[in-house]
Structure 1
Amino acid sequence: MVSVIGVYGGLLDKFPAGAWMNRALTLRTGQCHVQRYMKPLLQRIERGELDPTRVITHRLPLDEAERGFELFKNKQDNCEKVALKP
């Protein structure tokens, strides 16, 4: 099953529907209610109940932003999230 959760961003170009169908995947989507959840989630982060930094796999200086984008785009070095430091 593939799930896509977030804020709708418009049309998707070149969505691989054939590969999705050939693998008999179930595609589920859902709109994220940002206004409902942003404040309580931020409060939990501030209280130390949630640590969003655990998804950061790479920390780079701002002048290496292009390298960080390439790492993420090409899924190199197990890159999931890049944090840039000014």
Structure 2
Amino acid sequence: MHRYMKPLLERIERGEIDPTRIITHTLPLEEAERGFEMFKNKQDDCEKVVLKP
């Protein structure tokens, strides 16, 4: 994962990849534990959780 992070971020910045396609849930930071459990257990068709401050 770590060796792919920089090239992926660069492609996102150039607009070559749209990461919003995989975001299924957006939660406040206070609900991080719930988001992790939802992702881990694949509840509510969860594929990717984004946490907002």
TM-score, normalized by length of structure 2?
0.76
Higher radius of gyration, 1 or 2:
1
Cα RMSD for the two superposed structures: 2.1
Partner residue, 1:55? 22
* CA deviation map 1:20-72 (0-9, x unaligned): xxxxxxxxxxxxxx16x723x33221121111222111000011111111211
> Identity percentage over the alignment?
72
In structure 2, relative to structure 1, the CA distance for the partners of 1:71 and 1:49 (3 Å cut) is: same
**Structure ranking higher on relative contact order (CA contacts 8 Å, 6+ apart):** 2
TM-score, normalized by length of structure 1?
0.51
Which residues of structure 2 form unaligned runs of 5+? none
Which residues of structure 1 form unaligned runs of 5+? 1-5, 8-33
1:67 to 2:26 alignment: no
